[in-house]
Amino acid sequence: MSKRVHNFNAGPAVLPVPVLEQARDEMLDYQGCGMSVMEISHRSKEFESIIQTAEADLRDLMGIPANYKVMFLQGGATLQFAMLPMNLRAAGASADYIVTGSWSNTAVKEAKKLGDTHVVFDAKADNYNRLPSAGELQLNPQAAYLYYCHNETIHGVEFKDDPTPLAGVPLVCDMSSDFLSQPVNVDKYALILAGAQKNAGPAGVTVVIAREDMLERTPANLPVMLDYKLLAESGSLHNTPPCYSIYIVGLVLKWLKGLGGLPGMYELNRKKADLLYKAIDNSGGFYRGHAQAAARSIMNVPFRMPSEELEEQFVKEAKKADIIGIKGHRSVGGLRASIYNALPMAGVEALVQFMQEFQQKAG
């Protein structure tokens, strides 16, 4: 038996044990072909089946309409932050960005390098503990698109009701850290991007789901690896894709389908998040969540304690109890528990029990 810990890492993050077991068992011989998935050609029938099955399962799970293309790309969300304006924002046009935390902030920085970028909301004054109300958004009816981040991994704020763009303005969403955690209406979006290393697989592959009319915006003469239109039309196979990462994503998607798809996953995620937030709320202020209640993420739960010394001690003792990855990001401080799809309820229960015991000892 392998040793396993309670893995609260923010990403790369915990993966389902059955996925890892299958990857282990197939490492030297994928389904009788006598090669590892890492050793087969991306033009082979074996890999074609892997990538096509992954796409079909993703379409099935998310209900992706036929007029959307699915891409498996490289470079993480960070490369998407540049590809997005390169492809979707015509020369001279402006794009609207909602800033609710570190990741949407980074997206703005990249977009500004490449052209006119309008920040329509920024929660910096509240240290990104809340979401905008509809009335706070100063939207541009001529915007090339309206961009937002569905879940801010560092600040732990997650949209429940998505921002509504003005008529004719495409909605673009960074879904990296709550991708596949809940049902989603894909047809609200013109483009969805998601780095895989939170809920969908290992680092090194990024899923992009784009409505076909968006691909018509790609300007001529972009380098091929930055060209949505070309990458979409090639089925992510213009050059060698990150084959092994796509294979793992495919295994995760099968695992999700076995759990009842996104509604089943969401129910479990809600239960996990409720348990953890209840422990925070019932601690009499010993633990304090960073996000305002209405903005709380079901994936990333940053919280503080009465002193930095206690926080440090908490991290140290948690590690002894095999509770890993609990230190908060330096911009928020304190603790953060990332409770992604593959983190089982038993992991949250172990954390909550540890929190209660720690508080009793400290009190």
| Residue 156 identity (one-letter amino acid) | G
Task: Write phi, then psi, for 28 (nearest 5 degrees).
Answer: -95, -15
Q: Which residues contact residue 143 at a Cβ distance below 8 angstroms, ignoring those fewer than 6 apart?
A: 93, 94, 95, 96, 118, 165, 166, 169
Nearest to 350 by CA among 326, 324, 323: 323
Residue 221 touches a second copy, criterion: CB under 8 A:
yes
Residue 316 touches a second copy, criterion: CB under 8 A:
no
Q: In what order do the strands lie in the sheet with 288-289?
A: 288-289, 300-304, 335-338
CB of 153 to a second copy, least distance (A): 11
Residue 21 touches a second copy, criterion: CB under 8 A:
yes
Among positions 67-126, residues that touch a second copy (CB under 8 A) are: 74-79, 81-82, 110, 113-114
| Residue 171 identity (one-letter amino acid) | L
| DSSP letter, residue 227 | -
The alpha carbon dihedral of 198, 202, 206, 207 has a sign of negative
Applying CB under 8 A, which of residues 248, 251, 299, 301 lies at the interface with a second copy?
Answer: 248
Residues with active-site annotation: 103, 174, 198
CB of 42 to a second copy, least distance (A): 6
CB of 87 to a second copy, least distance (A): 12
Q: What are 336's strand-pairing partners?
A: 302
H/E stretch holding 50: helix 45-62
Residue 250 touches a second copy, criterion: CB under 8 A:
no
Q: Which residues contact residue 41 at a Cβ distance below 8 angstroms, ignoring those fewer than 6 apart?
A: 47
Residue 333 touches a second copy, criterion: CB under 8 A:
no
Residue 362 touches a second copy, criterion: CB under 8 A:
no
Complex with a second copy: residue 76 or 333, whichever CB lies closer: 76
Among positions 160-219, residues that touch a second copy (CB under 8 A) are: 195, 197, 201-205
Applying CB under 8 A, which of residues 32, 168, 285, 363 lies at the interface with a second copy?
Answer: 32
Applying CB under 8 A, which of residues 238, 254, 257, 288 lies at the interface with a second copy?
Answer: 238
Q: Which residue has the tokens 């695992």?
A: 255
CA-CA distance, 302 to 86, in Å (whole number)? 33
Binding site residues, a second copy, CB under 8 A: 2-5, 7, 9-15, 17, 20-21, 23-24, 27-29, 32-36, 38-42, 74-79, 81-82, 110, 113-114, 195, 197, 201-205, 221-226, 238-245, 248, 322, 324-325
